[in-house]
Amino acid sequence: MKPLISIIARDLRLAVRQGGATLLALVFFVLTVTLFPLGVGPEPAILARIAPGVLWVAALLAAMLSLDRLFQSDFEDGSLEQLVLSGLPVGGVVLAKIIAHWMTTGFPLLLAAPFLAVLLNMNGEGFTALMLTMLIGTPALSLIGAIGAALTLTVRRGGVLLSLLVLPLYIPVLIFGVSAIDAAVHGLNAKPHLLLLAALTVACLPLCPWAAAAAVKLSLD
């Protein structure tokens, strides 16, 4: 575990040094959500109705925007190949990088979401569901996105291909996340949707690092 923790700490230090790249997803998230009241009007009822979908779609796109730096910089400077040749389990290395990616992308989105929910006039019942869905669902975005990032590692300007690969796989996360918030807002039981979202994340936890590790090995061969 100690080498993997060191990889996480290293990626976090690099993210702090490259502050612009780290803040890009958060700024995109904030700006995207902020534009909706300007586009659809300030009517509180309309904003409250679209708030769950707007927040989750913006978070999904923001997470996808940062996927290309998950492995690319380490691949370009040779660090990724050294990590693979170091004898550490490649799946563990990939998981460590996914955790670092979530801490620099998903966690800031989680912190910003309640403030943007106020802007969209979300009622109090939806706040708890929003935080729970973001906490449970954003790790799945990083886990699924790692597969696409690994598959497009050697593709020049692979950002469009990366988006096409991961966007269909993000749809279940989006559906369950929005459904849980909608249920809570309307006074219904959000627990089934939260459990389905949690099951999806738990299923991704062992499968996605393994698949991404296989893709990384293939790209380095």
| C-alpha–C-alpha distance, residues 132 and 9, integer Å | 26
* Host domain of residue 104: 2-220
pLDDT in tens, the chain (221 residues): 787 888 888 888 888 777 666 688 899 999 999 998 888 888 888 888 999 999 999 999 998 888 877 888 778 778 888 888 877 888 888 999 999 999 999 999 999 999 999 989 888 888 999 999 999 999 999 999 999 888 888 777 667 788 888 999 999 999 999 999 999 998 889 999 999 999 999 999 999 999 999 988 887 77
Q: How many domains does the chain have?
A: 1
Q: How far apart are CA 139 and CA 134, in angstroms?
A: 8
Residue 136's contacts (CB-CB under 8 Å, 6 or more residues apart) are: 194, 197, 198, 201
